[in-house]
Structure 1
Amino acid sequence: MKKFAMIGASGYIAPRHMQAIKETGNELVAALDNFDSVGIIDSHFPNASFFTEFERFDRHISKLKYERNMHIDYLSICTPNYLHDAHIRFALRQDSDAICEKPLVLNPWNMDALAKIEKETGKKIFNILQLRVHPGIIALKKKIEEGPKDKIYDIDLTYLTSRGTWYYTSWKGDISKSGGIATNIGVHFFDMLSWIFGELKQNIVHINTHDRSSGYLEFEKARVRWFLSINYDVLPDEIKAKGQRTYRSITLEGEELEFSEGFTDLHTVSYQEILNGKGYGLEAPRQAIEIVHAIRNSNPVGPIGEYHPFAKKPLVPHPFK
């Protein structure tokens, strides 16, 4: 049984990590979050120590090590995007491996610095890239690998996940903390595309605002028009009519890829792979991090050339500006 600690226990994604730790037969011994609405811990590890102050959490981890001879094998990181880098560093310096939610970091050079700390400490950094363990995505990768070697596929990626105005007050609405729309809700799709279709050749940004981002990516084996948004108004009318607030679509050569099912246990699968020595390490998401960093720092050219059809949907002002 491995010992785990967690930073970021009250957010949306933390329960999936708790479930993964439990279902792989391991133990969460300590958790930290500055927000104390963490009753979810009771469903998984009611005996885990909980802290709202980093200093007390840090001291507790040290006491476990030096007074109870208890070593924390893994630190799970489920904190806001801009804190991942610092919390990974903390994990490694506590002699623990880090398991971090996506995006691993916000900037490519953060990965270079972390590589030095990995080497210095001998500990490992793992990124949760759950689409890479989704059976439908694995099957697609196999299909592409076994298909014509010189074929370049045409893909449309659309991901709309409606958020209320709270989003702009939270850290997610602050581009310096979340990395913006493309980073916050799109990085795992860009990683999946990189994993399947190879090296990036071109990255054009058509739209990049507070509530949407759209552009064109060309990989070795794919041309991708993509559109991401958190604005309810851009949802197709038929989705609104069903009372739904989320729409996800990936078409390959005009055919819809069906992978809406099978998401419930992907964190558990990811943890099992890490525990078996097969997890995705520091370098795995590099191209995706480079893609979202470039999007964040590009000057959008508007809906010209190979743009996603949704890129022409009317823009709306920021609700608080």
Structure 2
Amino acid sequence: MFKVGIIGCGSIATHRHIPEYQQNKNAEIIAYCDVVKERSDELAAEFGGTSYSDYHELLQNPDVEVVSICTPNYLHAEMTIAALHAGKHVLCEKPMATSLEDADAMIKAAEENGRTLMIGHNQRINEAHQQAKKDIAAGKLGKLYSFKTTFGHPGPEDWSVDGPDSWFFDKKRAFIGAMGDLGVHKADLMRYILGTEFTEVGAMIETSAKKADVDDNAVLILKTADGIIGTLSASWAYNGQEDNSTIIYGEKGILKLNADDVYTYQFVSSDGQIEKEQLGEIQTNEEGGQKNSHTIDAFIKALTNNEAPICDGYEGRASLNVIIKAIESAQTKSITLI
């Protein structure tokens, strides 16, 4: 059984990481850390374990084998590198870093210390997305033409433990807004499902709905090396209903993923035949949306079997690169090579 330490005890930890570790029979949380020590104290008192306010002290605990980094974006690299050098395996929330240089340093630290680094791109694990990847690889859609993928909701105010004062809205701590919170998920998902890399991006990124110095609305046009073109939308201004859907258009039909509340996988063939399947549910920030993403299961499975995780540091870096180049595109008002 892997002994786990949680670094950062905000909403992503309490709603996702902690419950999923608790449901995994091969993991046990023995340490919690947060700069607001009352948070880690409460969790330690409720579930058992040691509470820390300094993550360096948690990393000095020889019993901790695995850590989850659930802190603001600007701390991901620093804490991940320290944990890897302390001999811990690391599951780091996305985006993995705020620069490619930091991402490279994280990858290097994992390799130097022989430890596993997984980035929390949980959309890869969703059942409909898993099926789509298999079907596309098997040629079910034939030649792929285009796609549109969207991730939007009203914003992190009701989700973050700090509400409207959340670090999500602070550029120094967040680096980017909806693009880093949601857009990087979809960049990663499309790379994964399509099985290819993006080579060009054109982006329009705005702050229009929130009082913040980070983006809250972004639309990207992306192109792959083999000519697939599509759009990616990330928004904190989808008021009323969350949208976490992906549609892929190909020679033999259309694939709709998580576009319907019931039938999360739908294939419409070129002759109009419709195939519908209920393949799990995607997590949302809406009430009742805190379903098991199986991210922790995937992480612990990789550790148990001594195998590469579903999203390692190299994959996390490649998805981060798409977003960084999108920012460059928006700033220069030009198509940017990835």
With normalisation by structure 1, the TM-score equals: 0.78
AA aligned to 2:50 is S
The correspondence for 2:223, drawn from 218, 221, 224, is 218
Query: CA separation in 1, counterparts of 2:223 and 2:236?
Result: 24
Shift of 1:274: 2.6
Shift of 1:116: 2.6
Match of 1:46 in 2: 47
SS at match of 1:111: helix
Shift of 1:247: 2.3
The correspondence for 1:189, drawn from 165, 186, 189, is 186
From the superposition, tell whether residues 60 and 248 of structure 1 become closer, same or farther in structure 2 (CA, over 3 Å): closer
Query: CA separation in 1, counterparts of 2:142 and 2:220?
Result: 24
AA aligned to 1:212 is N
The correspondence for 2:281, drawn from 258, 261, 274, is 261
Structure 2 unaligned blocks of 5 or more? 208-214, 259-263, 265-279, 284-290
8 Å contact from structure 1 (residues 208, 300) kept in 2: no
Match of 1:146 in 2: 138
Query: CA separation in 2, counterparts of 1:119 and 1:190?
Result: 25
Shift of 1:20: 2.4
8 Å contact from structure 1 (residues 8, 14) kept in 2: no
Match of 2:101 in 1: 109
With normalisation by structure 2, the TM-score equals: 0.74
Query: CA separation in 2, counterparts of 1:150 and 1:256?
Result: 15
SS at match of 1:110: helix
Query: CA separation in 1, counterparts of 2:106 and 2:244?
Result: 33
Shift of 1:95: 1.2
Match of 1:162 in 2: 154
AA aligned to 2:306 is G
Query: CA separation in 2, counterparts of 1:164 and 1:98?
Result: 25
SS at match of 1:261: coil
Shift of 1:167: 6.7
AA aligned to 2:126 is H
AA aligned to 1:153 is Y
Match of 1:315 in 2: none
Matches within 5 A, 1:1-321: 1-25=1-25, 26-35=27-36, 36-37=38-39, 41=43, 46-51=47-52, 53-54=53-54, 57-59=55-57, 61-62=59-60, 64-65=61-62, 71-147=63-139, 151-163=143-155, 169-178=165-174, 179-197=176-194, 198-209=196-207, 210-219=215-224, 220=226, 222-232=228-238, 235=239, 244-253=240-249, 256-258=256-258, 259=264, 261-263=281-283, 264-266=291-293, 267-275=295-303, 276-278=305-307, 279=309, 280-299=311-330
AA aligned to 1:290 is N
From the superposition, tell whether residues 167 and 155 of structure 1 become closer, same or farther in structure 2 (CA, over 3 Å): farther
SS at match of 1:162: coil
AA aligned to 2:236 is I
SS at match of 1:21: helix
Shift of 1:42: 6.6
Query: CA separation in 1, counterparts of 2:58 and 2:108?
Result: 27
Q: CA RMSD in A?
A: 2.9
From the superposition, tell whether residues 228 and 154 of structure 1 become closer, same or farther in structure 2 (CA, over 3 Å): same
From the superposition, tell whether residues 216 and 34 of structure 1 become closer, same or farther in structure 2 (CA, over 3 Å): same
AA aligned to 2:21 is I
AA aligned to 2:329 is S
From the superposition, tell whether residues 160 and 149 of structure 1 become closer, same or farther in structure 2 (CA, over 3 Å): closer
Shift of 1:180: 2.6
From the superposition, tell whether residues 115 and 251 of structure 1 become closer, same or farther in structure 2 (CA, over 3 Å): closer
Structure 1 unaligned blocks of 5 or more? 66-70, 236-243, 306-321
8 Å contact from structure 1 (residues 10, 38) kept in 2: no
Query: CA separation in 2, counterparts of 1:81 and 1:60?
Result: 19
From the superposition, tell whether residues 38 and 115 of structure 1 become closer, same or farther in structure 2 (CA, over 3 Å): closer
**Residue deviations 1:225-264 (CA, integer Å, cap 9, x gap):** 12221124xx5xxxxxxxx342233222265323471542
AA aligned to 2:185 is H
Identity of aligned residues (%): 21
**Residue deviations 1:135-191 (CA, integer Å, cap 9, x gap):** 110111111111179723311122221027787642211234222321121111110
Structure 1's consecutive aligned runs of 4 or more residues displaced over 4 angstroms after TM superposition are 164-168
From the superposition, tell whether residues 141 and 212 of structure 1 become closer, same or farther in structure 2 (CA, over 3 Å): same
